[in-house]
Structure 1
């Protein structure tokens, strides 16, 4: 059997899509790496709307499809999740632990194997005052699951303050409503130590992040200790846009070290 090749799979955060990784993808591919950026259900150019994505399984299905195809051709995977994408790659690591070499969590949720992942989401909302969400709109779907629509002022002030103006303009045109799937993520035993817990995890702290604050990122690291912690100074929330070359070089290093 041939030696498996390494494939980086990049997963976006809340309301974004594969498009937000465009600079990182370009840089990694120019260095000879195999890279795929995924649109999760109802995000990016995915055909379904947010009302059609009923469960967390529906939401991560595009990612599962990618991992299934890579498994079939004997490729090892470096899974990279940004922000809410940390929950998506966690679920995928549980299902495809046999092909994932390492999970990279960038200023994101990173669940442990003890508690339902929803506990970290609830802790996040407890840690912030309502006014921090500015012009974002929250609504209920089928009574329980919460859907968010990111506001333009929120994106400009909290998410993209250190990015190029054209990156903010692109985001304003392409972001879509996103569900939190709290009911699904409140179930017990979604992640096990035998599968998800057996995979090396790296956490990237983004200093100056006003969305996932540094205090909350440090809480995540303490709540679910990873194998490695890396800090990027003055990165803010959208590190893949503001410091994409630094991030790309670090991902190359992680890919090499975690075989």
Structure 2
């Protein structure tokens, strides 16, 4: 594969559940400094509204609309849950050069977070952090190696996540046709590294980062270097 020209290329960052585009605040300037044009999205499934019904397909629509507004090539980076609607949105998008799964759900068609959990999330309304026992303390789960002040600020910005987003199944596994990479966060206390290892077997290339779940806050420079080197191959 020829080297990607960063001056004419875009990296689109897709956040995970309960988060927003704010979570990329440390990573964006690192990627920009490396010469990339960087875009982010806010997924409608993450909202302070307890009655929010936006699902995974709504998230995918927002991502696809942003993709359609961009010239290629685009590298799409999906974090955690965000990789699911990113995968859905990328299917059939001609301007996407690569999918990067960052401590993410790299699932197959007809799968969802609900199906992987054995139906523990199905229902309507909002999924709160305490729906999962080990998320009751989000600072420990998401930000275990993040500077305490940054972790506290991030925790205060977390919102509710619609149950629907965890239940709608992926219709197409774009990673089967789009070159894909996986970044395993080895010290992750939110998404087990063993689970990540299993998911990463589906990727063309795999990288490892000695960080917790939110490497974009704890190791933004190193993460940017990994994404940059991968996207240029």
TM-score of Structure 1 vs Structure 2, range by shorter chain: 0.7 to 0.9
Match of residue 91 from structure 1: 88
Once residues 175 and 187 of structure 2 are traced to their aligned partners in structure 1, the CA distance between those partners, rounded to angstroms, is: 29
1:82 to 76, 79, 82: 79
Which secondary structure does the structure 2 equivalent of 1:208 belong to? coil
**Per chain length, whose mean CA-contact separation is higher, i.e. which structure has more relative contact order (CA < 8 Å, sep 6+)?**
2
Deviation at 1:54, TM superposition (A): 3.5
Q: What is the TM-score of this pair, normalised by structure 1?
A: 0.77
Secondary structure of the residue aligned to 1:53 is: coil
Partner of 1:12: 15
Q: Could you say which residue in structure 2 is the equivalent of 1:103?
A: 99
Offset from partner CA, 1:105-149 (integer Å, 9 cap, x none): 01110123xx4121x5533x36xxxxxxxxxxx987xxx246322
The alignment status of 1:117 with 2:111, answered yes or no, reads yes
From 19, 23, 28, the counterpart of 2:26:
23
4+ runs of 1 displaced by more than 6 Å? none
Change (3 A) 1:227 1:164: same
Which residues of structure 1 form unaligned runs of 5+?
Answer: 127-137
Q: Which residue of 2 aligns with 1:164?
A: 147
Question: Number of aligned pairs?
Answer: 222
| Rg larger for | 1
The Cα shift of 1:220 comes to 1.6
Q: After alignment, is 57-66 or 146-155 more displaced? A: 146-155
Aligned to 1:60: 60
Provide Cα deviations, 1:147-176, integer angstroms capped at 9, x if missing partner: 322368521222112101122122222111
TM-score by length of 2: 0.85
Asked if structure 2 preserves the Cα contact closer than 8 Å seen for 1:80 and 1:105, the reply is yes
Contact 2:9 2:37 in 1 (8 A): yes
Instruction: Provide structure 2 residue ranges, at least 5 long, that are not aligned to the other structure.
Output: none
- Structure-1 residue corresponding to 2:199: 220
Alignment partner, residue 39 of structure 1: 42
